[in-house]
Copies of this chain bind each other. A is one copy, B any other.
């Protein structure tokens, strides 16, 4: 059973991913293994083509003593693509195993988004990021501004909800640009992941309410985003809540009634909403009551420790106060606060996951390298 050797190699790889470059002696101390073991593992991983002597040597002020050889992940272990697809544009980033962005490409999309155009834009930015990356992408992680089918990764149209990106199969579109799998999820779920990573102390159970052109919600339970059976968890457009006149109606109906949709669309006109909410306290209160009802349902069903509100108009303090007021009537209490990550939160979450998956793929390659010896 070479299980113990595999865990040693994994620890060496993970430690190098965390510290970028280390000598064998440093590895032995950090991991808590002996020097011969560290040396053996480094030799195996070098033979497997995963790490290499960087050529750098120690003695940079460490005092006397023999110089050590720094080892690091090889450049060509690969990168991972993080792709963000939204109605206003498409972004692709190639991230390395350290989580750093090595290449980036971006393209705007004319509105309304047409699927063929979006697919072409995704191909363009993916190809661009892939060619400019220092190593070919092994896998891709996609954030899309529409509901995602968990089994297939395709975008799903729900009745009366805005279809911001439209019919699209990111897995098929991106498969030619990567050698490994393509993972797809909703932008709100990725934003919640970014929020979870940013939280200190860690937040294991919370809800993320996204308020933008579309309305979405992500539920994090026991430290993970929970997607539900088909991936449609958190699709709150039809959740029944309190309407402007106190009547019960689906959340999306509230926006229709308040005249906040873009003409001929179920998407929210964010600019109009923000100016209307500033100008009209009653409208702001109506929004707060409607969203407070959504949060009441969230709290009753999922019991989050906090509700994080993000998105283009979710960070607005006046709206946040209205939401707090709209929720306050209920019997339960919960902290409602603005999201910490405001710049491209979904891409941030996708990027974190892309790096994490890339690291897992590299570790798996180390395990496979010895299983099928050359």
Chain A residues with CB under 8 Å of chain B are 1, 3-4, 7, 158-160, 204-206, 217, 219, 221-222, 224, 226-242, 246-248, 293, 296-298, 300-305, 330-332
Contacts and interface: CB of A to CB of B under 8 A. Distances in A.
B301 A301 contact: yes
A251 to B, nearest CB: 9
Nearest to A232: B303
A158 B303 CA distance: 13
B302 A226 contact: yes
Nearest to A297: B297
A229 B205 contact: yes
Contacts of A219: 301-302
Contacts of A293: 240
Nearest to A219: B301
A248 B292 CA distance: 14
26 contacts: A3-B4, A159-B331, A217-B301, A219-B302, A221-B221, A221-B233, A226-B302, A228-B304, A229-B304, A230-B303, A230-B305, A232-B332, A233-B303, A234-B303, A235-B303, A236-B300, A238-B296, A238-B330, A239-B300, A240-B248, A246-B248, A248-B248, A297-B297, A297-B301, A298-B301, A301-B301
A224 B302 CA distance: 13
B240 A228 contact: no
A242 B304 CA distance: 24
A368 to B, nearest CB: 20
Nearest to A306: B229
Question: How many copies of this chain are found per oligomer?
Answer: 2
B236 A301 contact: yes
Given A227-B303, A229-B204, A158 B331 contact: yes
Contacts of A239: 296-297, 300-301
Contacts of A3: 3-4, 7
Given A240-B293, A242-B240, A330-B238, A224 B222 contact: yes
Contacts of A248: 240, 242, 246-248
A302 B238 contact: no
A157 to B, nearest CB: 11
Given A217-B301, A301-B298, A160 B241 contact: no
